[in-house]
Structure 1
Amino acid sequence: MCSNEPLPVEEFVANLQAVGPRYWHDHPFHQRLHQGLLSKHELQSWAANRWYYQRSLPQKDAAILANCPLPHIRRHWLDRITYHDGDRPDTGGTENWLRMAEALGLDRTEVLDERHVLPGVRFAVDAYLTFARTKPWLESVASGLTEMFSPGLMRRRLADMREQYPWIAEDGFAYFTSRLTVIADEGTTTLDLVVEHATTRAQQHAAIAALTFKCDVLRAILDTVDYYS
């Protein structure tokens, strides 16, 4: 095969899936979370820092919309912003994450003012936003293929946190319960979109690199929280 020709679809998808071990599912901090070994303070630090990531996701999606010239993809992608921001006040994924933080004993004000966000977390998340704002829209979409790796982890996290931290009110798990209903479909849809539009070998390699970068961003977030908690 000429080096300029695109990889066969099966090989391209396999290369994307091969990035999976870089995902943050087996990070030591996550392992301790699932084993019930985190203190309340560590859980609070995790929630407060991950808030900075969660609240940045609709901004990332808005950057994809701004960079994408295709109306049908923009219409499709708009739903992701609504999912995170909600279609009215006090709804949406970011609101549900705030409820998780409150269930862990944090005051909503101290999460919103980001006083607990560590510099390393801010740096990693800001780098991801810059990526979405400055890279071609297809690369930014491909970075979100971490959705392929997350449904199993999220189901496990919900079950383990309910078992290991029974003091957390059920309302605090709204983020996970609502996310489980959409994430599997989103992962499949995103993969189909990337496969359809990555029509050159260069675009395919860029998509794989984008997914690798996103996994590194996520692990950098946990590295920082793990070190300072």
Structure 2
Amino acid sequence: MSTPDIQPWSRIEFEQQLRAMGKRYHIHHPFNLRMNAGACSPAQIRGWIANRFYYQFIIPKKDAAILSNCDDRATRRLWIARILDHDGYDDYQGDAQGGMEAWTQLGEAAGIARAELWSLQHVVPAVRFACDAYVDFARRSPWQEAVCSSLTEMFAPQIHKDRLAGWPSQYPWVEEQGLTYFRTRIPLAQRDVEHGLAVTLAYFTTRAQQEHALGILKFKLDILWAMLDAIDKAYPA
């Protein structure tokens, strides 16, 4: 337990503490390790894609919930881009198609029909529960805390790079054009982290607040880990 007389971390120290939470990221989950080693079956890959799609499905709702609580105009102007990143914008073609469309193309490249993916019929209850809990957190929390929870994006670029490096040879039956999602998310994650960190470092200034921020980030990391626990159980080797 922290006490009021404990000095807060400096901004540099606080950021180091946040980044150190990467040891809990689901890149280290046994299912992800097997997937990156090329050891998953087609059924497991398709099961992962279908269930992870539900996470893509709720992200715009989560971001809209943050906007609904946010009274800072500058933050709203920046944060709305995240909704468009997933839902798409302009003519919805090419880079403007959005993350949900890119993930749909991943599903199709792996043999999952668009209608089948969007029906959510393969989403297991624990994955749905975890994702819905994340949306509920964003609705009920101060917007700065919900922003802090998004900082799992700090750890995302490497997991995307791993898939881009390994999947073409490990899972050649997945058409390579389906990997667009992983490629496009790398620069977007880096952009989002810059803004999310700025909000978090400015808002959580006492030691108690900083430790609370670590707890928020752990909560989000636990959601991602729990999703893979559920997928791992639903699609055994």
TM-score category, normalised to shorter length: over 0.9
Equivalent in the alignment of 2:45? 43
Structure 2 counterpart of 1:22, from 18, 21, 24: 24
* Alpha-carbon distance in structure 2 between the residues aligned to 1:21 and 1:38: 23
* Alpha-carbon distance in structure 2 between the residues aligned to 1:89 and 1:203: 40
Equivalent in the alignment of 2:202? 196
Asked if 2 retains the 8 angstrom alpha-carbon contact of 1:139 and 1:206, the reply is no
Residue type matched to 2:9 in 1?
Answer: L
* Alpha-carbon distance in structure 1 between the residues aligned to 2:175 and 2:232: 24
Equivalent in the alignment of 2:230? 224
* Alpha-carbon distance in structure 1 between the residues aligned to 2:137 and 2:175: 36
* Alpha-carbon distance in structure 2 between the residues aligned to 1:58 and 1:86: 10
| SS of 1:116 mapped into structure 2 | coil
Q: CA deviation at 1:41?
A: 0.6
* Alpha-carbon distance in structure 2 between the residues aligned to 1:34 and 1:132: 31
Equivalent in the alignment of 1:146? 152
Structure 2 counterpart of 1:95, from 96, 101, 126: 101
* Alpha-carbon distance in structure 2 between the residues aligned to 1:147 and 1:26: 15
* Alpha-carbon distance in structure 2 between the residues aligned to 1:219 and 1:126: 15
Equivalent in the alignment of 1:177? 183
Q: CA deviation at 1:162?
A: 1.5
Equivalent in the alignment of 1:213? 219
Structure 2 counterpart of 1:114, from 120, 124, 134: 120
Q: Deviations over 1:102-124 (max 9, x none)?
A: 11101111111111000010011
Asked if 2 retains the 8 angstrom alpha-carbon contact of 1:65 and 1:78, the reply is yes
Equivalent in the alignment of 1:64? 66
Structure 1 residues 24 and 203, CA, compared in 2 at 3 Å: closer, same or farther?
same
Structure 2 counterpart of 1:86, from 85, 88, 106: 88
Asked if 1 retains the 8 angstrom alpha-carbon contact of 2:156 and 2:186, the reply is no
Q: Deviations over 1:28-85 (max 9, x none)?
A: 1111111111111111100000000011111111111111110000001011111110
Asked if 1 retains the 8 angstrom alpha-carbon contact of 2:38 and 2:167, the reply is yes
Residue type matched to 1:8 in 2?
Answer: S
Structure 1 residues 50 and 188, CA, compared in 2 at 3 Å: closer, same or farther?
same
Q: Does 1:166 align with 2:172?
A: yes
* Alpha-carbon distance in structure 2 between the residues aligned to 1:61 and 1:2: 33
Structure 2 counterpart of 1:74, from 73, 76, 93: 76
* Alpha-carbon distance in structure 2 between the residues aligned to 1:68 and 1:135: 10
TM-score of the superposed pair, with normalisation by structure 2: 0.92
* Alpha-carbon distance in structure 2 between the residues aligned to 1:204 and 1:39: 42
| SS of 1:182 mapped into structure 2 | helix
Residue type matched to 2:5 in 1?
Answer: S
Residue type matched to 1:158 in 2?
Answer: L
Segments of structure 2 that go 5 or more residues without pairing to the other structure are none
TM-score of the superposed pair, with normalisation by structure 1: 0.95
Q: CA deviation at 1:97?
A: 0.3
Q: CA deviation at 1:185?
A: 2.4
Q: CA deviation at 1:10?
A: 2.1
Q: CA RMSD in A?
A: 1.6
Asked if 1 retains the 8 angstrom alpha-carbon contact of 2:4 and 2:208, the reply is no
